[in-house]
Chains A and B, each alone.
Chain A
């Protein structure tokens, strides 16, 4: 079983969300997701300022095996993107919960965070998929 940090929230589509406590959240992909995709070779990030609907595809991660869309886990505006992963996509493999984050956004409705999975909930999603 891969690492699923308890302090994060998760979407069914394998994005993690961290509440930064200042009205913004950070989004990345889970260790499980990067493990499935394999070695990352390219990341296409959203543009800062773009307003996303929940579930909208907003980024692409490409590995040696596949290209996968990243979906906005919440509705809101993109406030920052991690340019470091554009130059070094392998950060997603090395530190999916750290230096490999993808973008920050300001959720339109912070309460929606509560609708995402907690660590245990996401772990069971993964377990179910693996069965």
Chain B
């Protein structure tokens, strides 16, 4: 290959790269291993993870995944089918995506949706950019972003939109842990393209979505609903918020049959009202008929996309999370509308039971006394990171440490119990937490082991 392009060595090929930028060999990368050796290492690492009892949510949730989901998604027809370049040749893949779109539109109460995005965080960035393009009443490139939105999401959105001249204006939260509609009055008459409304928000607290949506519309903003798909089985869908419904609904699809897998791959979903369809980014599958009148599926509205509109495309998204969406579609089909509602109710009931139990422990208090879905902020009166470390030793993931992102909340911890947690799980967590907190309060049991002040 070098000969074909007239380079005599690999060094000549990289000649243009300044010497100081070149990586001089890959020092930390070991030599290749055979399958048996690599499998042994992987098993060792997996064993090191243990089988922790998980009480962390914070954007990714451990749900029961029926065995059939990945059995079916793992079939060759789905598993190997990366979103095909000659899309219409793969009618089966397109039909799955079409069914997925129908399910998401129904879950969010929206008119249209695409074939998925990469994840919830980048999905929110797409929703923000979409709102700026789609708002015909406002030319503003400012968007109201509540602090009750996932901190990682806010960082991702900031990264993706700042170089497109979009400004995120941070919105404080109230003592109830949500956006107070009263507080918004200070922005009356100001020019913003959109308001982001998380439901439930990062603290697990429910926002007053109807009042917020109506306020956004009264001030010529679009309303973006950032939603948890499981919660939508029991909460009112964004399409029905306020008098006219939210304009865009977006969220993380992981709770729908995707394993936690150390953070990915997940998928993002986005849906919108008919009026904004042209500004919806990414691929959209439509149903049509062929020459003989038989049903067929096709990629539609492609003229918005990069391969046709080039720099003026709605987004540089030109793919989707095909396999994850396949699993999510199978998950939704298997659990059904009622099943998803039962999952949601069980999550709420278990979280309620967890919180009631933990509140019996001395020093534990609930930070926000507001309606919640399946996550709650607790103050534990002791350094959160250390308590979580002590719990981890007992193979318990005790929650998400909020002290870095929300120092103003004090020693605060975000806990979650999905439908997978049992009464025994909750009791085990509570007893361990109680023991750790009381022991820490008393100080080290063996004081002789405590180094003298100033000796280290």
Contacts and interface: CB of A to CB of B under 8 A. Distances in A.
Contacts of A42: 278, 303
B309 to A, nearest CB: 5
B308 interface: yes
Interface of B is mostly: helix
Interface string A45-75: 0000000000000000011011101000000
Nearest to A65: B303
Contacts of B309: 67
A66 B308 contact: yes
Contacts of A67: 303-304, 308-309, 312
Interface of A is mostly: strand
Interface string B293-333: 00000000101100011001000000000000000000000
Nearest to A62: B303
Interface string A69-91: 10000000000000000000000
Contacts of A66: 303, 308
Interface centre among A62, A63, A66 (most CB of B within 10 A): A62
B308 to A, nearest CB: 6
Contacts of B301: 41
Nearest to A68: B303
Nearest to A63: B303
A51 to B, nearest CB: 15
Interface in A6-29: none
A42 B276 CA distance: 12
A119 B303 CA distance: 31
Nearest to B304: A67
A41 B302 CA distance: 12
A74 to B, nearest CB: 23
B278 to A, nearest CB: 6
A67 B309 CA distance: 7
A113 to B, nearest CB: 29
Nearest to A57: B312
A66 B304 CA distance: 9
Nearest to A69: B312
Contacts of A44: 278
Interface centre among A62, A65, A67, A69 (most CB of B within 10 A): A67
Contacts of A63: 303
A67 B308 CA distance: 7
A58 to B, nearest CB: 13
A103 to B, nearest CB: 16
Interface in B245-285: 278
A68 B304 CA distance: 11
Nearest to A44: B278
Contacts of A65: 303
A42 B274 CA distance: 13
A42 B308 CA distance: 15
Interface string A107-123: 00000000000000000
Nearest to B303: A67
Contacts of B304: 67
A24 to B, nearest CB: 24
Contacts of B308: 66-67
Interface string A34-48: 000000011010000
Contacts of B303: 41-42, 62-63, 65-67
A69 B303 CA distance: 12
A41 B269 CA distance: 25
A26 to B, nearest CB: 23
Contacts of B312: 67, 69
Contacts of A62: 303
A66 B308 CA distance: 7
Interface string B179-213: 00000000000000000000000000000000000
A33 B249 CA distance: 37
B276 to A, nearest CB: 13
Given A42-B278, A66-B308, A67-B308, 13 more contacts: A41-B301, A41-B303, A42-B303, A44-B278, A62-B303, A63-B303, A65-B303, A66-B303, A67-B303, A67-B304, A67-B309, A67-B312, A69-B312
Interface of B: 278, 301, 303-304, 308-309, 312
Interface of A: 41-42, 44, 62-63, 65-67, 69
- 7 nearest A-B pairs in the assembled complex, by CB-CB distance: A67-B303, A62-B303, A67-B309, A67-B308, A66-B303, A42-B278, A66-B308
10 contacts: A41-B301, A41-B303, A42-B303, A62-B303, A63-B303, A66-B303, A67-B304, A67-B308, A67-B309, A67-B312
